[in-house]
A and B are shown apart, each in its own frame.
Chain A
Amino acid sequence: MKCDKLVDVGRRQFLRGGVFGATGAAVATMIPATPAKAQSLARLDYPSNRLANVADLKANEPMDIAYPDADSPGVLLKLGSPVDGGAGPDGDIVAFSVLCPHKGWQLTYHAADKTLNCPGHYSRFDCEAGGQQTWGHATQNLPQFLLRVDDKGDIFAEGVDELIYGRLSNVLA
């Protein structure tokens, strides 16, 4: 029996939880009458903020955004190839906080391997694997913003899957 995929069991939990997958799948297959809404994983009232339109994005070029408020910088990316949890017609649109969950340094995007890198202490996060820490000092993965794409191609952020650096709650009162 071929069992060399067993280690996939360890990949990030939410990727098999269906929240992200549902968004991508809905857009890709059910086409757009009632686009599925992403659910937030924390019991928080997340705002639904329009970040951009699909047409604004160029493959593998990061767009600066902020979510859920102006003090939480992030990046919106069209990766160019579909990933688990990717939104949009090509299943390749993702968004992340750019505050390193270790000490809050601002991450920079490295297009060659699609990672976000910390200039402070060398941590790296994989944008193709839900912000998984490739290597580093943080004790959590990079917060990913949950996206919804409507029938006009507008991209909305509607949730965050991990705690944003420096916050006790992702949505501030």
Chain B
Amino acid sequence: MKVKHCRIHNRPAYNSEVHSSRDMGVDELNYQYADYEVTDTIFLVGANPIETQTNLFLNHMVPGMRNGAKVLVVDPRRTVTINACEEVAGKDNVLHLQINSGTDLALFNALFTEIADKGWVDSEFIKASTFADGVAVPEDEAHPANLGSYEAARAACRMSLAEAAEICGVSAEDIAKAAAWIAEPKDGARRKCVTAYEKGIIWGNDNYRTIGALLNIALATGNVGREGGGCCRLGGHQEGYYRPGDGHVGRPAPYFDQLVIAGRGKVHHNWATDHFKTTLNAVAFKREYNRRTNMVKEAMDARAGATREEMVDAIVAAINAGGLFSVHVDIIHTQNAQAAHVILPAVESGEMNLTSMNGERRLRLTEKYMDGPGQAMPDCLIAARMANHFERVLREEGRNEYADQFKGYDWKTEEDAFMDGYHQGNPEVTYERLRAMGNNGVQEPVTGFADGKLIGTPRLYENGVFKRHGREDGKALFMAGGWRGLEAPGKAQQKANHRFLINNGRSNINWQNWFLDQDNDFVSDRFPLPYLQINPEDAAELGLKNGDMAEVYNDVGATQAMVYVEPTARRNETFMLFGAPTGTQGNVINAGTNTLILPNYKQT
């Protein structure tokens, strides 16, 4: 339908979380997990994989450490991942750069500068595979920094160890040591370093420049497309691996939440997300969403007993007066869906055949083994039945050209949808062939089919040709983006005005936004509320004990959490669980976003 005003589950616009990596020519999932097992250094940024990518950590990172890899962790919090790495690799082989929240860009630019100044770069790779001549893509509204050559980036990103130490709150010696662990030649050969990042910077300060600055280091040291290398995000939760282009949305994408809050839009379809628990500026969003959907509910209530046509007229009148008609498609009754007028029950993995991929692009078919409840259907078939109705209604109205857009959705099964979608772009891949590949599946992109097996691609860019940005020359671009402080509007003011940082993230025991945890006694017993880790002295000053319920508030809203006194928490820096049904962390996150409408949940 090419709807322009749409958004994704964890961000208030329809956009990539890793624009800059793609703009530089590098897909964000470029390695294979086995690269962790053969590398010299594992570089983790804003990621806590023992809690959030447990299998990757235990089955690939731990073997890597046992094979001698050092571990470098950038995080404002001492996570359980750091503790586990110290247990496995030994404290001397783990370096935790406990930076001030949101200063990653300054750190990465200093590491890049140091590595370049020391000459620890892969000159052959830079020459063969990266853009050589100044600026390739100038900074504009859609590209929040110049993109271009190694030298251009080196000039724009220059940051001394001393400057970075001051900004980041870590010692210059530790930054120099980190640079050596990443890039100093080892036994006369190039050092292998695999870089993994996740929400700490994806949902942190200055997303575009920060991710680009991290990728600069990997590109400069030739650690993309090589064994033991890669520069990848850790997330890989079955996002749409095949979808139509998003050119109609534009860039920057519209800030969807602000449109809803401002009274724009008439009908909202929400598929399998719960914005009430996970969006930023959540107090305002909930208030307006409830107010506008209630206008429609009240209009419907007032016409109880009316004919279908009269009811439609009442709904349309309420919408035209500023109301919002809400349709939700989900497997549970979400908090957001409590404002819905129509709920379409969906099925989930196991109740349907589902293809999905993981963080090393491993595509698998999980086959249906039980029926879904009641009339619940796979999302693709719900969409197809909607399309069928659109076509019918539009034809009845004589709008044949518009109706034609909805032809062809005669899908009866998930496989029909797969064949009309993924298979069209990847003609080798069918359900039958994926079934034969079993639990190991195949790593995308699939390049062929031979001897009864799909042929995948374990690692991207082994040929040194980068085309994710669409450039014909196949040259990767560097990010020429200098440090510019807390970039999202309002963040610097919040920092100045409030004593406590409310850092936030996930825990091992809670899955996503706890949607199924709510009915799981084991999980809800453990954490009936999101926990708030707080330094013991801070807790004592505030009269808080373990298990107390605390109100967390600032200039934009308030929420609640359970006190978790944590000796490793720094003074004035708390950590609260994200996505909880019983305490919405987003209530205290302001509406300001990074460039390209990328939310900054972290520096709150």
Interface check B420, CB cutoff 8 A: no
Chain B residues with Cβ below 8 Å from A13 are 521, 525
Chain B residues within 8 Å of chain A by Cβ, number: 21
Interface check A58, CB cutoff 8 A: no
B560-588: CB near A (< 8 Å → 1, else 0) gives 00100000000000000000000000000
Chain A residues with Cβ below 8 Å from B528 are 7, 9-10
Stretch at the interface among A22-30, A34-42, A92-100, A134-142: A134-142
Q: Given known contacts A6-B549, A8-B547, is B525 in contact with A136 (CB within 8 Å)?
A: no
Chain B residues with Cβ below 8 Å from A7 are 528-529, 547-549, 562
Interface check A133, CB cutoff 8 A: yes
Q: Is the CB of A12 within 8 A of B549?
A: no
Query: How close is A84's CB to chain B, nearest CB, in angstroms?
Result: 14
Interface check B58, CB cutoff 8 A: yes
Query: How close is A9's CB to chain B, nearest CB, in angstroms?
Result: 7
A11-33: CB near B (< 8 Å → 1, else 0) gives 11100000000000000000000
A111-151: CB near B (< 8 Å → 1, else 0) gives 00000000001100000000011011101110000000000
Q: Is the CB of B54 within 8 A of A137?
A: yes
A62 to B138, CA, bound (A): 67
Q: Is the CB of A12 within 8 A of B525?
A: yes
Query: How close is B479's CB to chain A, nearest CB, in angstroms?
Result: 36
Q: A10, A12, A122: which contacts B84 (Cβ < 8 A)?
A: A122
Interface check A70, CB cutoff 8 A: no
Q: Given known contacts A121-B58, A122-B80, A135-B80, is B549 in contact with A4 (CB within 8 Å)?
A: yes
For residue B58, which residue of chain A has the nearest CB? Answer: A121
Q: Is the CB of B526 within 8 A of A133?
A: yes
What's the dominant secondary structure at chain B's contact region? Answer: helix
A11 to B522, CA, bound (A): 10
Chain A residues within 8 Å of chain B by Cβ, number: 21
A49 to B544, CA, bound (A): 43
Chain A residues with Cβ below 8 Å from B598 are none
For residue B543, which residue of chain A has the nearest CB? Answer: A4
Query: How close is B582's CB to chain A, nearest CB, in angstroms?
Result: 10
A52 to B143, CA, bound (A): 72
Query: How close is A50's CB to chain B, nearest CB, in angstroms?
Result: 32
Interface check A3, CB cutoff 8 A: yes
Interface check B411, CB cutoff 8 A: no
Chain B residues with Cβ below 8 Å from A11 are 525
A137 to B524, CA, bound (A): 15
Scoring A8, A121, A122, A140 by chain B CB atoms within 10 A of each residue's CB, the highest score goes to: A122
Chain B residues with Cβ below 8 Å from A3 are 549
Interface check B16, CB cutoff 8 A: no
Q: Given known contacts A4-B548, A137-B508, is B50 in contact with A10 (CB within 8 Å)?
A: no
A13 to B528, CA, bound (A): 13
Interface check B255, CB cutoff 8 A: no
Chain B residues with Cβ below 8 Å from A141 are 522
A121 to B61, CA, bound (A): 13
Q: Is the CB of B58 within 8 A of A10?
A: no
Query: How close is B350's CB to chain A, nearest CB, in angstroms?
Result: 17
Q: Which residues of A contact B (CB under 8 A)?
A: 3-13, 121-122, 132-133, 135-137, 139-141
12 more contacts with CB within 8 A, not counting A133-B526, A135-B80, A139-B522, are A3-B549, A4-B548, A5-B547, A7-B548, A10-B525, A12-B525, A121-B58, A122-B80, A122-B84, A132-B526, A133-B509, A135-B508
A-B pairs with beta carbons under 8 Å apart, 23 shown: A3-B549, A4-B547, A4-B548, A6-B549, A7-B528, A7-B529, A7-B547, A7-B548, A7-B562, A9-B528, A10-B524, A10-B528, A11-B525, A12-B525, A121-B54, A122-B50, A122-B80, A133-B509, A133-B526, A135-B80, A135-B509, A137-B54, A141-B522
User: 9 nearest interchain CB pairs?
Assistant: A10-B528, A4-B548, A4-B549, A7-B562, A10-B525, A7-B547, A122-B84, A7-B528, A7-B549
